[in-house]
């Protein structure tokens, strides 16, 4: 049986990375507990990220996070890294029956390059169809938080990269595009109120895992 593809999304500082490995461990326990791995070779839960996830993708990530470039170059490189990621990691894992959890995927391109930077949605949709064909996440967790909260969290932690250095209006547009996409296809998304304390969010994530 083909595995499932789960993605984590949200503006920078929402808290995705804080939960991803924890969520993957819980899912491993759950898949083990359900005995999926008994008759056939054990199912794995693969964690990965975008841009990145492959050797070439990580090199592209360095460029994308630190070099200035034309907006369309940025979008094309995001999809180039994604093409590699799908071919090398995501498709083989799903075909083996493993589950894949990715820290960001194509929703981020629509939100950042589309919403944040204003690249036409039709161009991104054309790239999405070209690069992914029918591949879409089975489930996307959107960690949603007001821009001020996310910025305050980031200010306390790390030096900003090219995206994190963007202004408040950019992140307002990025967040709005994420939420617009949720409203368009609500069945694919679970919106997590990421203003809550970490422990409270984990209770919600546990409930979610019990249902999938």
Ligand X SMILES: Nc1ncnc2c1ncn2[C@@H]1O[C@H](COP(=O)(O)OP(=O)(O)O)[C@@H](O)[C@H]1O
Q: 5-9 and 139-144 as β-strands: parallel, antiparallel, unpaired? A: parallel
When asked if residue 175 is in the footprint of ligand TYD (CB under 6 A), the reply is no
**Quick check: helix, strand or coil at residue 69?**
coil
Stretch that binds ligand X, among 39-47, 94-102, 128-136, 190-198 (CB under 6 A): 190-198
Any idea what the Cα angle at residue 20 is, between residues 86 and 55, rounded to 5°? Answer: 35
Q: With respect to ligand TYD, which residue has the nearer C-beta, 30 or 179?
A: 179
Sole window of 29-37, 40-48, 101-109, 178-186 interacting with ligand TYD (rule: CB under 6 A): 101-109
User: Is residue 116 at the binding interface for ligand X, with CB under 6 A as the rule?
Assistant: no
- Report how far residue 194's alpha carbon sits from residue 201's, in angstroms, rounded to the nearest whole number: 7
> Do residues 137 and 83 lie in contact, with contact meaning Cβ atoms separated by under 8 Å?
no
Residue 166 in contact with residue 112, Cβ under 8 Å? no
Choice from 163, 170, 171, 189 touching ligand TYD (CB under 6 A): 163
Helix (H) or strand (E) segment spanning residue 140? strand 139-144
Site string for ligand X, 122-161 (x = CB under 6 A): ---------------------x---------x---x----
Q: Which is nearest to 28 in space by CA: 16, 39, 44, 17?
A: 44
- In the complex, the residues that contact ligand X under the rule CB under 6 A are 10, 12-18, 143, 153, 157, 194, 196-198, 201
> Which residues of this protein are in contact with ligand TYD, per CB under 6 A?
12, 17, 49-51, 65, 78, 103-104, 108-109, 112-113, 161, 163-164
């Amino acid at each position: 049986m083909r595995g499932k593809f789960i993605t984590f999304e949200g503006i920078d500082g929402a808290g995705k990375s804080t939960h991803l490995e924890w969520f993957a461990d819980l899912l491993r326990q759950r898949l083990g507990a359900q005995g999926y791995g008994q008759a056939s070779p054990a199912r794995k839960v693969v964690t990965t990220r975008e841009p990145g996830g492959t050797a070439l993708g990580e090199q592209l990530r360095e460029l994308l996070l630190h070099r200035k470039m034309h907006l369309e170059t940025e979008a094309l490189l995001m999809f180039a890294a994604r093409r590699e990621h799908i071919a090398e990691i995501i498709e083989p894992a799903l075909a083996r029956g493993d589950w894949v959890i990715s820290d960001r995927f194509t929703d981020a391109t629509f939100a950042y390059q589309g919403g944040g930077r204003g690249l036409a949605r039709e161009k991104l949709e054309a790239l999405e169809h070209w690069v992914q064909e029918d591949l879409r996440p089975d489930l996307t967790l959107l960690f949603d938080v007001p821009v001020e909260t996310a910025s305050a969290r980031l200010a306390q932690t790390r030096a900003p990269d090219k995206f994190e250095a963007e202004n408040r209006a950019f992140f307002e547009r990025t967040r709005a595009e994420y939420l617009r996409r949720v409203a368009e296809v609500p069945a694919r998304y679970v919106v997590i109120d990421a203003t809550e304390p970490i422990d409270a969010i984990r209770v919600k994530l546990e409930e979610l895992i019990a249902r999938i």
